[in-house]
């Protein structure tokens, strides 16, 4: 049986985000292209829904972008109406690509070790935030 550990997403990837009307997208680019499979398995619509909770009211989709070693996440209904009508501090979704890097993602420990993914700040659960204090 494989052991799953939770690591900060920043160990695997960096991100960039922006607005698309009332939605925002986050591009997550693996630090090393060979880590894409782990990134794809780790960042799912379900995990993003848990992370954002009621902040996102619509469908969440995740697509692989293998040519650049990345995934694209589209979160609909996350900007309070969009840039011209939203009262949110970040009506254009620019902060999401950086703040999501604090999220913990599940990785297969053996696979991550074999591929050289840093396992620093690993924990046994998703909600351990001691790595950001």
User: Is residue 129 domain-resident?
Assistant: no
Among the listed residues 36, 48, 31, the one whose alpha carbon sits nearest the alpha carbon of residue 104: 48
User: Is residue 39 domain-resident?
Assistant: yes
pLDDT of residue 83: 56
As for how many domains the chain has, the answer is 1
User: Is residue 133 domain-resident?
Assistant: no
Indicate the pTM of the whole model. 0.84
User: Is residue 120 domain-resident?
Assistant: no
Domain, as residue range, for 17 = 4-115
**Mind listing the pLDDT tens digit for each residue in 109-132?**
999 999 999 998 888 877 776 665
SS3 readout for 23-53 = EEEEEEEECCHHHHHHHHHHCCHHHHHHHHH
User: Is residue 85 domain-resident?
Assistant: yes
pLDDT of residue 22: 73
**Mind listing the pLDDT tens digit for each residue in 30-84?**
999 999 999 999 999 999 999 888 888 899 999 999 999 999 999 888 665 545 5
User: Is residue 82 domain-resident?
Assistant: yes
Q: Dihedral of CA 88/84/26/97: which sign?
A: negative
**Start-to-end CA span in the chain (Å):** 32
User: Is residue 98 domain-resident?
Assistant: yes
User: Is residue 125 domain-resident?
Assistant: no
């Amino acid at each position: 049986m494989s052991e799953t550990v939770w690591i900060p997403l920043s160990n695997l990837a960096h991100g960039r985000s922006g607005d698309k009307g009332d939605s925002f997208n986050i591009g997550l680019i693996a630090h090393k292209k060979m880590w894409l499979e782990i990134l794809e398995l780790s960042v799912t619509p379900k995990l993003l829904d848990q992370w954002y909770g009621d902040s996102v009211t619509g469908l969440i989709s995740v697509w692989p972008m293998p040519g650049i070693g990345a995934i694209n996440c589209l979160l609909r209904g996350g900007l309070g109406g969009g840039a011209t009508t939203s009262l949110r501090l970040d009506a254009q979704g620019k902060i999401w690509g950086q703040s999501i890097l604090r999220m913990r993602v599940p990785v297969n420990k053996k696979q991550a070790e074999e591929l050289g993914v840093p396992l620093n700040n690993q924990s046994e659960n998703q909600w351990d935030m001691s790595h950001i204090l």
